[in-house]
A and B are shown apart, each in its own frame.
Chain A
Amino acid sequence: MARNEYRIGALSLNVARYVIVIFGAIVMVVPFLWMINSSLMTTSEITRQPPVWFPATPQFSNFTGLLEVVPMHRLYLNSIIVAAATVLGVLFTSSIAGFAFAKYQFPGRDLLFYMILATMMVPFFITLIPVFYIVRQLGWINTFQGLVVPGIFSAYGIFLMRQFISTLPDELLDAARIDGASEPLIYARIIVPLVKPALATLGTFTFIGVWNAFLWPLLVISDRDLMTVPLGLNSLRLYAAEARNLHLLMAGTALSVVPTLVIFIFLQRYFIRGIALTGLKG
């Protein structure tokens, strides 16, 4: 009897758990479903009361109409170039500095490392104008390198890679040195292959961050041919505010969100691992 009661109790507890988790998941997903749904509606369907749940006829023309307002295909290409270049840069600078901070002894190491950590705390806005100035001195306004280069030095990335590389045993390095490997070779042949999971984590985070970045591209880019996706979304937002072309706005929003969703679904385990790593070692 007691055993049965226990089982029923455990069962109902389990059911309750599922109910809450599923409810939470629905709350998380509904806005996205709604966005995709609305991107196929007409403006009057979007704003009707009581709400229309599904478009009478899916308006795939919203997506072609969108192209008349912002050149989405061009923006995609630009965002991909900028994000890919930034990711490669961040991976290199973070892993090599993280390696040095984790596995070498040198005067000033801890001071430098703490300084780097401290810059993580500074509001981004503080550096906005001066960095802009520097980029200009380099003649990089309205160029991709103006978007990319300031972004490839990541305090967070160095921190993450240092934490990860610290967990690798020193014996690996010593063994390689005994075999006559030089220090750069150790970095390239031993460290980089071993930290691939951490690099994947950092890479995906950086990609998402760059893909979603808005304020910096807004300042650096004015040439239409170099605009990134958030810049396009912003002009679309302002255009839609004036014309109430809500269907175009939803189509554009859906298109801007999809690439990050796809990347995340494929690479989600790296995210999770990376977050766990920073959270636990912080």
Chain B
Amino acid sequence: MDGTKALATPANQFSTPRRNTLFRQRMIWAYIFISLPVAGLLVFSLGPILFTGWVSLHEWNMLTPPSEMPWVGLSNYVYLLTQDTIFQRALVNTFIFVIGGVGSNVILGLAFALLLNSRLRGQTLWRVLYFLPVITAPLALGVIFGFLFNRNYGLVNSLLIALGGTRQPFLASPDQALYVIIIMAVYQYLGYYIVIFVAGLQGIPQDYYDAASVDGANVWQRFRHITLPLLRPVMLFVIVTNTIGALQVFDLVFATTNGGPANSTMTVVLHMYNTAFKFQRMGRASAMAFILLAIILAITIVQLRLLRDRTQE
């Protein structure tokens, strides 16, 4: 980040006493400026995170005051990892969701970005159309998709039949429901990633392509040796943010299958919600939240390493 560069300058720049006073004054103003936002984040974000960590070591039904909750050490974590079959199921489902969703978003997002980045008429129109689902409430999309993928009167099945296929149960099938939800998630966020990829493509200087053309490189070679390497920072951003978001999927499932049939679409956050508010086991739900946090951190670090290293090749 450019923060390091900015920090290196002040020492020589503000060397005289007058400048030092000025510097101090500005510093005070800076602290005043950040005081409210930082205090807000401490109260509504950092503090709560620590509190939840504390709760995860206790048993708490949320009906008794937190001062009275019994300490259980790490047993919530042990229970989740060894005994909670639904949690394990939810973990597997969530990973499938992440791999399917992020993979599709990257491939389709990049493909459509390449198409849209070429000289195509009606850029704004395409952009608006592809972006519509991004701004729609997941709850509303869930309702709409519940209808579209209905086994008996859904539009998708009508299309399948018209194309000579056979009727599919989709959301009513434990084998298919999760994939329908992946399709829904890709549908919702694809437009967002297309826009990011387009911006990334526009950041690649045209000279590189021109030079490569002169050297006789074909379309594929140009893509492989210019576009892909130069897009790595954007790719990194897309994969990391999409993974973090996908690991926390909740609304889409809540509004369609609510985890069913037979837990086949149970995700980690939905199970967390049920554990907390349906079964009243806040300690266990908090432990789940921390396991999820650990997974997010681990995956993010691995992704940053992998993609950074290659950029530096």
Contact = CB atoms under 8 A, between A and B. Distances in A.
A208 interface: yes
B238 interface: yes
Contacts of B165: none
Interface residues of A, number: 91
A200 B199 CA distance: 18
Contacts of B38: 97, 112, 116
A265 interface: yes
Nearest to A127: B48
Given A97-B37, A123-B293, A279 B200 contact: yes
B130 A237 contact: no
A24 B46 contact: no
A155 B29 contact: no
Contacts, number: 266
B155 interface: yes
Contacts of B26: 104-105, 183
B13 to A, nearest CB: 9
Label chain B's interface by main secondary structure: helix
Interface of A: 17-18, 20-21, 24-25, 27-32, 34-35, 38, 46-51, 93-94, 96-97, 99-101, 104-107, 109-110, 112-113, 115-116, 119, 121-131, 133-134, 149-150, 152-153, 155, 158, 166, 183-184, 187, 208, 211-212, 214-215, 230, 233-234, 237, 246, 249-250, 253, 256-257, 260-261, 263-265, 268, 271-272, 275-276, 278-280, 282
Given A93-B40, A109-B7, A260-B136, 20 more contacts: A21-B126, A27-B187, A34-B148, A97-B33, A99-B33, A104-B30, A105-B27, A105-B30, A110-B3, A115-B46, A119-B49, A130-B49, A155-B45, A212-B138, A215-B273, A253-B144, A261-B132, A276-B195, A279-B234, A280-B234
Closest 9 CB pairs of A and B: A153-B40, A276-B199, A130-B48, A104-B30, A279-B196, A212-B137, A97-B37, A127-B48, A100-B33
